[in-house]
Amino acid sequence: MQYGMNTLLFACPFTNESTPLFAQLKAWGFDSVEIGLVDPGDIDPQHVRRELDQHELKCSAICAIMTADRDLRGNDQQQQTGVEYLETVMEQMQVLACPKIVGPLYSAVGRTEAYEANEQQEQWKCVAGHLQKLAEKAEANQQTLCVEPLNRFETDMVNTAEQGLEMLRHIDRPAMKLHLDTFHMNIEEKFLPEAIRRAGD
């Protein structure tokens, strides 16, 4: 097992100037970092990779920050901006030798609204279509996209492991996986061990 730390606990946004954090994380005994990337333009991935290598750390994941203007179920402009953000992050992941991007890739955080069933279905189709195409690119680069369910106060779309698995069934690509966060699970799941077992591999 490897132990990692999310940079959002120390630096938001994470920039080139945040990389001195790596020395401290290594001293504390961590093996890897998960970088919360608010804006891909905040870093030079070559610089960050050099700093990671210098401190013998891996970038285990990029934590995607889905803002109001990056929403795969929003209006056309929001969808386009969301896709472009994720594509740019995936390009930087190649430089960072980072295998995974994790987070609520499907929608902006904080969107908690009520929709009729037919509108919900249309939103799921829209999100699945975008993530299918992104997953195809990820597979070509040996990358993985990990959908993270959030609690009901942060999203109205994917709250439980079962809903996450349902989204994966819609997308149906091997590069799409599920990321379970026990903070959110503790709010939404009736029985955490069973939810983890359902998620399986």
Alpha helices per DSSP H over the chain: 21-28, 45-54, 76-96, 117-140, 161-171, 182-188, 192-199
Neighbours of 90 (CB within 10 A): 19
Q: What is the DSSP letter of 111?
A: B
Evaluate whether 135 touches 175 at the Cβ level (below 8 Å). Answer: yes
Per-residue model confidence as pLDDT tens for the chain (201 residues): 889 999 999 999 999 999 999 999 999 999 999 999 999 999 999 999 999 999 999 999 999 999 999 999 999 999 999 999 999 999 999 999 999 999 999 999 999 988 898 998 999 999 999 999 999 999 999 999 999 999 999 999 999 999 999 999 999 999 999 999 999 999 999 999 999 999 998
